[in-house]
Structure 1
Amino acid sequence: MRMGSLITTASIPADSVAGVDEAGRGCLAGPVVAGAVVLPDAYDLPLLTDSKKLSAEQREILYDAIREQALCWAVGVIWAPEIDRINILQATFRAMGNALAHLRNRPKLARIDGNHVIPDHVLPFDMAQEAVIKGDGKIPAISAASIMAKTFRDRLMVKLARRYPAYGFDKHMGYGTKVHLEALKERGPCRQHRMSFKGVLPEKKAEKQAGLPF
């Protein structure tokens, strides 16, 4: 069974548990990125915690350290057009499924930050799942996944800022800041914007968009 309802999760060793988290779910532009990380029983990752509680410099240091020490890690990326097509929740699940699919070793359990598990049709293989509210601050493997997802996505947004310099993606990473919203009003959206998100298009145009998830 994909949901692993017959598996006692407490009996699964740490090196068979993948932490899973996402970054960029609430942004107006850019992809949603999920990280999946399997940590060994012993590791040396000072300051490992929820990525939102760390500075960019601390995340960069931990990003490299996690890559070196993790038994395996991967990221999944879903871009704005797909987010608009299937909605952000489904896109987040798909990014998580893609991250798990690209792990070198198959974990027996995925611990996922939040209150949702990944739907069966998105899971790449049979495994148990556990949703952990605020897990990025409680479970080291989820903390590591949050850092991988956030740092990987931030690097992508810095690259996109060079392609679309008018929007300041390297400053706000696609979130709906005042500067970002003003740029949208002045110039309109680019290809990296999520057209189904409130604030990206003028209100009248947004109402005409077909098949929006919100």
Structure 2
Amino acid sequence: MTSSNGPSAPAAVPPGTPAVGNREELPDRIWTVPNALSVLRLLGVPLFLWLLLGPEEDGWAIAVLMVSGFTDWADGKLARILDQGSKLGALLDPAADRLYIVSTLIALALREVIPLWIVVALVGRELVLGVMLLVLRARSYPPLQVHYLGKAATLLLLYAFPGLLIADGDGWLATVCAPFAWALTIWGTALYLLAGAFYVVQVIGLVARDRAAGRP
């Protein structure tokens, strides 16, 4: 199923310096099909939480997650096909991904489906990235492009969460789903943390480049 004009780049960029994402080159469009799909995904978050924590309608909650995963794929695909990329879309897409992951983690933890350490690890990662975004904003940089590892991790987790809900039930389907769901959860968590570490390294590289160039 997730973006302030940055400063002009120095004339000479040291080799290996991370590049700032090109979100600022995107047009300021709002009314596009991909943006509508991203808003639809965002509106599904409270519905998803209510289904999990209220009536505990896991089947419908899984359906919402599946729709979210499809629209996550579709909005990027349509943005390229229809040439409807936008700054707003580059913000909404990762925001929706993060909201679904964090809300699902909290809901599954409250229902004791997943252990607390997974919640602490993934929510802690989001807090660290929030600090990195503040560092970038303080230096007038836009958010960096989403790393491909982060997208892969998000995809794994969005597949893992429905599996965990099924595995929490009874019967043969729960038994079959459990090992696959936990494998996706562990791999998704590992890649999600690794993508977060790469983001931190990129931000540190930008700060180091600024200091080397004598920028405040």
TM-score with structure 1 length normalisation? Answer: 0.28
TM-score with structure 2 length normalisation? Answer: 0.28
Structure with the higher helix share, 1 or 2: 2
Larger radius of gyration: 2
Structure with the higher strand share, 1 or 2: 1
